[in-house]
């Protein structure tokens, strides 16, 4: 009798890294321009540590349930229906906001690519956003298998474009720009730390995959833990490399027009193209950004599509999938057409929502599971003290976003 082969650790690690790495990283250089490179690295390290702990706390709670138990089941049984409703709203809100962000930036880059490679075809932002959304929405609406096929192509191209483009950018990075020695204006950094937290937090949003990996690895807690650690660490290293590549070439003062347009990715890449010495890097960056946004769009909207179908009990027949697609794609598409320059702002909104389902809820689940179950096959170190600290960070992130919107904390404008 043949023994079933255990899934590889590499596969699970890539699921974590692939979910975390996406268009959110394109917002980081702009959102974190106030604290610049050194501050960005320190913030990345801190948030990586906190989010890794919250993911492992979710793992600890998940292991007390049968294979296949998902976020909703765990939250309902450990925290009650009220917390589960709040968790569900937070997840749906995050997915809608991210879909809007991806349509907005995908449309901008589509417009830019047409202007560069097909200038004879007149296209504006509205037409470009519609083209981007409808083309990819078709794959999501057809089937998960269709998304799987196109995602494989996009992610492969994204990885190649990323390494080719960042290699050139890193070699052209200048220490005086990276350390902001060329600045003639404001040189303060610490006041902008709090406003940078919400966007940075979204960059480590892979927690929805933890229950999937628990099932995938047949409740092998250690293997899931290693997949989380390796995958999230890979994401961290790529984020720091990207931050160095951008902030080592584009002076801090040049972020003013990018911030004025809500962190529009096409504006960022256009500004960067004026400073990098090799024109081909700019083309590679455009394709990298486009594939990163497209692959993230597919992953997020597939999750939202399935969530909507389950929530409203819509069928899997043609008419059922059409109704699901309309509910999934029309609201964020309309938002993108009405507010075409809200990429970083939208990512910030997502940062507000993920405070609940990605930070606070996992910590509460670990706390409740320890009270309910006397024995555990896997337990996060640090006791209740660490749980309270993770919850405190989630509350801090909510404060940062609300205070930023009210103008109570400094926000870097690049001026």
Q: How confident is the model at residue 97 (pLDDT cuts 50, 70, 90)?
A: confident
Look at residue 362 in the predicted model and tell me its pLDDT.
95
Question: What is the 8-class DSSP label of residue 209?
Answer: G
218 contacts: CB under 8 Å, gap ≥ 6 = 6, 67
The verdict on residue 4 lying in a domain is: no
Question: What is the 8-class DSSP label of residue 414?
Answer: -
Could you tell me if 206 and 231 are in contact, meaning their C-beta atoms sit under 8 angstroms apart? yes
Could you tell me if 247 and 30 are in contact, meaning their C-beta atoms sit under 8 angstroms apart? no
The verdict on residue 218 lying in a domain is: yes
Could you tell me if 95 and 354 are in contact, meaning their C-beta atoms sit under 8 angstroms apart? no
Neighbours of 282 (CB within 10 A): 19
The verdict on residue 9 lying in a domain is: no
Report the share of the chain in percent with pLDDT over 70: 89
Question: What is the 8-class DSSP label of residue 130?
Answer: H
Look at residue 23 in the predicted model and tell me its pLDDT.
58
256 contacts: CB under 8 Å, gap ≥ 6 = 413, 414, 415
Q: What is the pLDDT of residues 185-194, one digit of tens each?
A: 667 888 899 9
Could you tell me if 362 and 57 are in contact, meaning their C-beta atoms sit under 8 angstroms apart? yes
Tokens of 5: 């082969």
CATH number at 173 reads 1.20.1740.10
Look at residue 244 in the predicted model and tell me its pLDDT.
92
Number of structural domains found in the chain: 1
Q: Kindly tell me if the per-residue pLDDT of 253 is higher than 70.
A: yes
The verdict on residue 177 lying in a domain is: yes
Q: How confident is the model at residue 390 (pLDDT cuts 50, 70, 90)?
A: very high
The verdict on residue 76 lying in a domain is: yes
The verdict on residue 2 lying in a domain is: no
How far is 380 from 370, CA to CA, in rounded Å?
A: 11
The verdict on residue 34 lying in a domain is: yes
Expressed as residue numbers, the domain containing 210 is 14-406
Q: What is the pLDDT of residues 137-193, one digit of tens each?
A: 888 777 656 766 676 677 677 778 877 877 877 888 888 888 887 666 667 888 899
Q: Kindly tell me if the per-residue pLDDT of 1 is higher than 50.
A: no
The verdict on residue 141 lying in a domain is: yes
Could you tell me if 174 and 249 are in contact, meaning their C-beta atoms sit under 8 angstroms apart? yes
Q: What is the pLDDT of residues 324-373, one digit of tens each?
A: 889 988 988 888 888 776 666 666 677 678 899 999 999 999 999 999 99
């Amino acid at each position: 009798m043949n023994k079933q082969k255990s899934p590889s650790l590499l596969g699970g690690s890539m699921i974590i890294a692939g979910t975390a790495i996406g268009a959110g990283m394109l917002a980081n250089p702009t959102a974190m321009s106030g604290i610049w490179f050194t501050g960005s690295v320190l913030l990345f390290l801190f948030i990586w540590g906190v989010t890794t702990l919250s993911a492992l706390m979710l793992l600890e709670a998940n292991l007390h349930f049968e294979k296949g138990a998902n976020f909703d089941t765990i939250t309902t049984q450990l925290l009650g229906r009220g917390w589960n409703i709040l968790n569900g709203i937070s997840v749906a809100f995050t997915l809608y906001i991210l879909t809007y962000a991806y349509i907005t930036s995908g449309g901008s880059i589509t417009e830019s690519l047409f202007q560069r490679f097909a200038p004879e075809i007149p296209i504006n932002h509205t037409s470009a956003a519609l083209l981007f959304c409808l083309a990819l929405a078709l794959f999501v609406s057809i089937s998960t298998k269709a998304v799987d096929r196109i995602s494989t192509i996009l992610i492969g191209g994204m990885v190649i474009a990323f390494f080719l483009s960042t290699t050139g950018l890193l070699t052209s990075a200048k220490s005086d720009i990276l350390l902001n020695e060329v600045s003639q204006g404001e040189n303060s950094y610490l006041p902008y730390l709090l406003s940078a937290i919400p966007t940075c937090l979204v960059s480590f949003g892979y927690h929805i995959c933890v229950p999937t990996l628990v099932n995938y690895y047949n409740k092998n807690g250690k293997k899931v833990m290693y997949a989380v650690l390796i995958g999230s660490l890979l994401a961290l290293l790529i984020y720091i490399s990207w931050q160095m590549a951008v902030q080592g070439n584009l002076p801090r003062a040049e972020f003013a027009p990018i911030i004025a347009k809500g962190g529009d990715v096409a504006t960022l890449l256009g500004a960067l193209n004026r400073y990098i010495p090799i024109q081909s890097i700019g083309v590679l960056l455009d394709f990298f950004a486009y594939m990163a946004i497209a692959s993230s769009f597919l992953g997020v909207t597939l999750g939202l599509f399935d969530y909507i179908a389950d929530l409203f009990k819509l069928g899997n027949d043609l008419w059922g999938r059409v109704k699901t697609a309309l509910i999934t794609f029309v609201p964020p598409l309309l938002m993108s057409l009405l507010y075409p320059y809200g990429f970083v702002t939208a990512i910030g909104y997502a940062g507000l929502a993920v405070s609940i389902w990605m930070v606070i809820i996992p910590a509460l689940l670990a706390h409740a599971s320890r009270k309910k179950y006397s024995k555990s096959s896997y337990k996060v170190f640090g006791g209740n003290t660490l749980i309270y600290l993770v919850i405190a960070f989630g509350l801090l992130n909510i404060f940062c976003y609300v205070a930023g919107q009210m103008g109570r904390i400094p926000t870097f404008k690049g001026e």
